[in-house]
C-alpha cells in the first residue's frame, strides 16, 4: 500500500532515490543518546530515502537565509515496530541533516511527520527542529473521503514550485488542514489553525492529567476543585474546536 501512495504523489522519477539507510549509518554519522540508540535498535524496522528534491532534479529554487536552509528536501519512509513511540522515533530520524517529510508506516497504516528546522547558530552546518506535526494514523486500505482527499492534496502538483521553503510549508499547511478537519469537517486552514491545534493538544494533555489526579484524590473539597477545573478545560476545548 505504501508503494501505491508514494507513486500517487507524482514526484518526478529524477527525484527518486529508493535507497535503504542502515542503522549502522545512523550510529556512525550522528551523535545519538543512549535512549535514541535503544529506539533505533528496538522500534525501527527499516528506513528508506524515497526521494531527494534539489535544484538539480526539479524546477524549484533553493531557499537560504540566516535562519533557514531549504536548499533540498528529503522524503523518508520509516517502517516502525512500536507506534506508541512514534514521536520518540521521529527524533532519531530527524538527525538526517535536511528538512524532512517523513512517512511512518505501521503495517497498512500511515502517519506523516513535518518538522520545520532552523540553522543552529552555534554550528551553522547543523539544522535543529523547531516544532513537530504528525497526522493521526491513516488506514491506507480503508480510507474515508476526508483521508482520501487529504492524500490527494499531497500530490506534487498541489504545491508551489517557487522555492523549497514555500513547497515545504505547503505540505505543512496540508497536514494542519487534515488535523483540523476532524473538528471543522473540511480541509481548510486559516492564520489561527496552528495555534488553536496547539491549544487543543495542550488542554487535552491537562485533561488526562486532571482525571488521573481526581481518581487519586481523597480530599473531598480538593476533588470538587479539580472537577471544576476539569469542566473549565473541557469547555475551553469545545470553544477552541468551534473556532477552528
Interval 128-153: pLDDT, tens: 888 899 999 999 999 999 999 999 99
- Write out the E strands in the chain: 16-21, 44-54, 63-64, 69-70, 72-80, 100-106, 109-114, 117-120, 123-129, 133-134, 138-139
Do 231 and 175 share a domain, yes or no? no
Task: Tell whether the model's pLDDT for residue 122 goes beyond 80.
Answer: no
Do 6 and 95 share a domain, yes or no? yes
Q: What is the pLDDT of residue 29?
A: 94
Do 156 and 106 share a domain, yes or no? yes
Quickly count: other Cβ atoms within 10 Å of residue 60's Cβ. 22
Do 40 and 156 share a domain, yes or no? yes
Q: How many residues does the chain have?
A: 244
Q: What is the pTM of this model?
A: 0.86
Do 147 and 216 share a domain, yes or no? no
Confidence band for 187, pLDDT divided at 50, 70 and 90? confident
Q: What is the pLDDT of residue 130?
A: 87
Do 163 and 206 share a domain, yes or no? no
Q: Are 80 and 86 in contact (CB under 8 A)?
A: yes
Do 174 and 202 share a domain, yes or no? no
- Among 184, 203, 227, residue at a domain's last position: 184
- Among 167, 184, 201, residue at a domain's last position: 184
Do 173 and 235 share a domain, yes or no? no
Task: Tell whether the model's pLDDT for residue 244 goes beyond 90.
Answer: no
Backbone angles phi, psi at 40, to 5 degrees: -60, -40
Degrees, nearest 5: CA angle 238-242-244: 115
Do 128 and 202 share a domain, yes or no? no
Q: What would the pLDDT profile of 67-105 be if each residue is shown by its tens digit? A: 999 999 999 999 999 999 999 999 999 999 899 999 999
Tell me how many domains the chain contains. 2
62's CB contacts (< 8 A; 6+ apart) are 54, 55, 70, 71, 72, 163, 164
Domain with 15 in it:
2-184
The CA distance from 95 to 128, in Å, is 9
Q: What is the pLDDT of residue 182?
A: 87
Q: Are 115 and 94 in contact (CB under 8 A)?
A: yes
Task: Tell whether the model's pLDDT for residue 125 goes beyond 90.
Answer: no
Q: What would the pLDDT profile of 12-71 be if each residue is shown by its tens digit? A: 999 999 999 999 999 999 999 999 999 999 999 999 999 999 999 999 999 999 899 999
Do 123 and 145 share a domain, yes or no? yes
The CA distance from 123 to 141, in Å, is 44
- Among 162, 184, 206, residue at a domain's last position: 184
Do 59 and 121 share a domain, yes or no? yes
Backbone angles phi, psi at 119, to 5 degrees: -75, 135
Q: What would the pLDDT profile of 212-224 be if each residue is shown by its tens digit? A: 999 999 999 999 9
The CA distance from 189 to 177, in Å, is 5
Mean pLDDT of the 166-184 span: 94
Do 74 and 113 share a domain, yes or no? yes
Amino acid at each position: 500500500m505504501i508503494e501505491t501512495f508514494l507513486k500517487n504523489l507524482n514526484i518526478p522519477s529524477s527525484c527518486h532515490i529508493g535507497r535503504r539507510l542502515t542503522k549502522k549509518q545512523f550510529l556512525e554519522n550522528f551523535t545519538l543518546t543512549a535512549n535514541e540508540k535503544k529506539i533505533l535498535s528496538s522500534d525501527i524496522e527499516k528506513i528508506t530515502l524515497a526521494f531527494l528534491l534539489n535544484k538539480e532534479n526539479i524546477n524549484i529554487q533553493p531557499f537560504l537565509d540566516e535562519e533557514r536552509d531549504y536548499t533540498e528536501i528529503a522524503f523518508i519512509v520509516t517502517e516502525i515496530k512500536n507506534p506508541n513511540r512514534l514521536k520518540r522515533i521521529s527524533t532519531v530520524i530527524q538527525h538526517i541533516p535536511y528538512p524532512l517529510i517523513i512517512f511512518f508506516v505501521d503495517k497498512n497504516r500511515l502517519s506523516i511527520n513535518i518538522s520545520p528546522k532552523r540553522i543552529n547558530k552555534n554550528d551553522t552546518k547543523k539544522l535543529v527542529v523547531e516544532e513537530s506535526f504528525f497526522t493521526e494514523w491513516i488506514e491506507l486500505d480503508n480510507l474515508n473521503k476526508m483521508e482520501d482527499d487529504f492524500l490527494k492534496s499531497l500530490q506534487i502538483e498541489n504545491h508551489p514550485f517557487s522555492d523549497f521553503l514555500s513547497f515545504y510549508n505547503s505540505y505543512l499547511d496540508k497536514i494542519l488542514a487534515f488535523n483540523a478537519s476532524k473538528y471543522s469537517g473540511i480541509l481548510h486552514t486559516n492564520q489561527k489553525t496552528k495555534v488553536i491545534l496547539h491549544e487543543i493538544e495542550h488542554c487535552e494533555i491537562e485533561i488526562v492529567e486532571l482525571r488521573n489526579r481526581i481518581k487519586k484524590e481523597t480530599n473531598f473539597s480538593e476533588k470538587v476543585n479539580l472537577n471544576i477545573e476539569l469542566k473549565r478545560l473541557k469547555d475551553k476545548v469545545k470553544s477552541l474546536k468551534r473556532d477552528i
